[in-house]
Structure 1
Amino acid sequence: MPISQTLKHDVIKNIVLKLSKTINTDYEEDNNELCFDFPKNIGDGYFKAIEFDFGVGIIIADFLINENLSITFEKDKINPLKFFFNLDTEVKFKDSENDLKLNRLESLLVSPATNEAQTFNFNKNKPNTFFYIQINRKLFEEKIEKFIGDMDEDLETLFRDLNGINKFHFKSYYSLEIAELIEDFKSCDLTDFMQSVYLEGKTYEIITQYLNQFTKKNNNPGKHKLLRKATVSKIEEAVQIIKNEIDVRISVNALAKRVGLNQNTLQAGFKLLFSTSVNEYIRDHKIEYAKNLLENSELNITEITYKIGINSRSYFSKLFKTKYGLSPKQYLTQFRKNENKSA
């Protein structure tokens, strides 16, 4: 029998609390978190809600159940701004005008009109994983009131609509950097205060990255593109090759051939998902990895240069200084000085 839950746009923990009661399972509450696991007769997985200050809250869910799940937000007078990131199987979204399918790595930035219902549908017997951010703009105004006048025009319009009077939706792929931030969020092993600060920071990183992506696409309307699921998978495969073979010099053409794409499609995919070219992505990843080696290994600068597949120490120093404002030697000296102060 399908599981159906109708909710108000309530505080984020109440959404998960009411869903746990619908499926008749226990929940655990700890400070700003509320979580439940699906009972074994329904399937496996969890829903977790976390509340932060200024009306920001998240739900993160990962489940596989033997019934279809439908969550409807009923008509309301005050509507939050919602960010929905789909990490796995297709999810369906429906409101008075839209009937959308969200594939893996697709997202939805949405706010209903006054007195409009919205429904998310999740398929049974398929893995469902999503990350959902909800912002009560009336409470969030205190957080951004000093900056709102300097915002991009589209963002200012979005955040000045404090009660969510105007209908809005924006569907797109989200970057793999955002996917990695969500994985960082999910895998956090800190506890208590440190965990809360870390997770709130990651949530704001995700919001910032996504709004930056949103404004760039709005300012370049002719550049909107859709990627097929197969293409996204191949781009992810290319990213993994770059990370696994960091000591290898690989051309864009060779990388494209290895993942079964033509060079132009690979470049276009990186531009869409990362707002950068393939070569720029490779270079930035190498330099970030080198910084990590400087901080956490005993390798000298020459050894690190070869470790990241760069043959010229001077070229490596130039790239490093461009990214971090210091040469590798200067950075290492400063890092060790700071380490000694904190010891």
Structure 2
Amino acid sequence: MSRYLSSNQLWDTICKKLCYPNSNRGKNNISIKDDYGEININHFSTGFGIIYSSFIANFYEDTIVENCNSYNSSFLSFNTGNTIYMKDSFIKNEMQWDSNICLNGEQYSGHISLSKHKKNQRVMMHYIGFDNSLFKDFTQNNQNYKNIKPLYKGERIEVNFNNHINTHQKTLLNDLLVTSALEDKLQTLYLESKLLELIYASVNSVENQNRTNEIYLSSQDIESLNRAKKILIENITNPPSLKELAYKSAINEFKLKKGFKQLFGNTVYGFLQEYRLNKAKKLLESNEININEASLIVGYKCSSHFSRIFKNQFGITPLEIKKENRCKVYC
């Protein structure tokens, strides 16, 4: 049973002290130690439409935190801790947010989400909030932002995969974490410069992800795709349909088709055919079975069709392989 922390429980100690993107310039550091765990937040508002917050927490038991948003903004969010599971309270969809992933998107006033955190697992997030018009100014000349398909879309939020957090971003995030805790005015200028550098790096890093037209695959997606591959191998004579395979692998059909090719370099049925033919080739080279038997073992009922696609794959017919093997035996 997970502990539930409502937004009301956290409002007085956290939310009232945090600023919105269009708030005045200023810093705030918040530390909480309660019976549910420990939370540390460093918060900074630039005064010109950008805010930054780091959120570090450790919960003493499995915990669900209710998050309420009371303003419209765009955002960049970085997860540098453990995997977090986010759920939109309006449409009940759950999203897995893996470590070392940067997300971007828009959220609107009234959005409520639930984040699930495991017991004694370090939570470490960085959040950059923007005035909507300002973020659009930053990205208006970046065509890749216009082509992004939402990773997650709720009634009052849209989340996109931005990029895997690279070495440059990690360095900047660490600098922000250290500097945001300091009170010196010169350090505040340094903090602002690092924040702007991180924004620049993150806005431009989305380019490299979208050039290959790849989709974001979480660790759970990858596990599901490997499960799909295993199911295909175990059922080569009677493979499931794409719909059945998606259901058995616990992944949606779009991610199955797109993600399978991205992960394994071939389509679902392209992989199946390649696996079947490679297995048939080994069987024929062993010289223990005939062509019809090899064809049936790997799931082809028509031996002539099998021979045709076999030649397309290897440039040699099954019969020629059998002849070569006989020659090796008797020559």
- TM-score (norm: length of structure 2): 0.51
1:204 has 2:199 as partner: no
Report percent identity of matched pairs: 15
Matching residue's letter, 1:3: L
Match in the other structure for 1:86: 79
Q: Hey, what does 1:265 align to over in structure 2? A: none
Deviation at 1:53, TM superposition (A): 2.5
- Map 1:257-272 → 2, pairs under 5 A: none
Q: Residues of 2 paired with 1:185 and 1:34: CA distance? A: 14
**Cα RMSD, aligned residues only:** 4.0
The answer for the alignment partner of 2:142 in structure 1 is 152
The residue aligned with 1:5 is 7
Deviation string for 1:59-85 (max 9, x for gaps)? 1021212251413235x6x62112111
Q: Distance in 2 between matches of 1:101 and 1:178?
A: 21
Alignment correspondent of 1:329: none
Residue 124 of structure 1 corresponds to: 119
Q: Decide which of 176, 190, 211 is 1:185's aligned counterpart.
A: 176
- AA paired with 2:159? H
Letter aligned with residue 188 of structure 2: S
| Correspondence 1:175 to 2:166 | yes
In structure 2, the residue matched to 1:106 is 101
For 1:64 and 1:101, the matched residues in 2 are separated by: 19
Q: Which has the larger radius of gyration?
A: 2
Report if the CA contact (8 A) 1:112-1:167 is conserved: yes
Would you say the 8 A contact 2:64–2:114 is kept in 1? Answer: no
Q: 1:104 to 1:157 in 2, by over 3 A?
A: closer
1:4-153 to structure 2, matched below 5 A, reads 4-5=6-7, 18=11, 20=13, 32-67=26-61, 68-74=63-69, 79-95=72-88, 96=91, 98-112=93-107, 116-138=111-133, 140=134, 151-153=141-143
* Letter matched to residue 46 of structure 2: F
Q: Distance in 2 between matches of 1:27 and 1:97?
A: 29
- Taking a change above 3 Å as real, the CA distance of residues 115 and 3 of structure 1, as seen in their structure-2 partners, is closer
- 1:38 counterpart SS class: strand
Unaligned regions of 5+ residues in structure 1, if any?
8-15, 159-164, 232-267, 269-343
* AA in 2 matched with 1:209: A
Shift of 1:127: 1.1
Deviation readout 1:181-229 (Å, 9 max, x if unpaired): 111111237642211111111111111111111133233314x564759
Structure 2 residues without counterparts, runs of 5 or longer: 20-24, 149-154, 223-261, 263-331
State the aligned residue count.
205
